[in-house]
């Protein structure tokens, strides 16, 4: 796999109440990824960028919401997120411990 593509696959961590709960309970990380990325690419990208071992990757496509601002309507973009299960003893800390 092209290393340049792997560095662009992960867009951002998803920081929410649900993702924090999943992280604590199941040793998983929730990431926003490119919509055309597959599970194998996500696994390779996480292992390359964060130097951890990945056990499993699950992906989900999130449909954009329709929003209104006064009389104007718009639509948010569709996006994709990945639930990345890490092997025992590995962890990714986005908050930084100090």
What's this model's pTM, rounded to 2 decimal places? Answer: 0.87
**Residue 93 pLDDT:** 74
User: Where is average pLDDT lowest: 14-23, 27-36, 87-96?
Assistant: 87-96
Q: What is the pLDDT of residues 20-75, one digit of tens each?
A: 999 889 999 999 999 999 999 999 999 999 999 999 999 999 999 999 999 999 99
**Dist. CA 84–CA 38, nearest whole Å:** 12
Q: What is the CATH number of domain 3-86?
A: 3.30.70.330
Dist. CA 83–CA 28, nearest whole Å:
6
């Amino acid at each position: 796999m092209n290393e340049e593509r792997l560095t662009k696959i992960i867009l951002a961590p998803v920081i929410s109440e649900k993702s924090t709960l999943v992280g604590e309970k199941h040793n998983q990380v929730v990431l926003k990824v490119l919509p055309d990325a597959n599970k194998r690419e996500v696994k390779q990208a996480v292992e390359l960028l964060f130097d951890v071992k990945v056990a499993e990757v699950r992906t989900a496509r999130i449909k954009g919401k329709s929003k209104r601002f006064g009389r104007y309507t718009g639509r948010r973009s569709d996006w994709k997120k990945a639930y990345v299960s890490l092997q025992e003893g590995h962890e990714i800390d986005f908050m930084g411990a100090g």
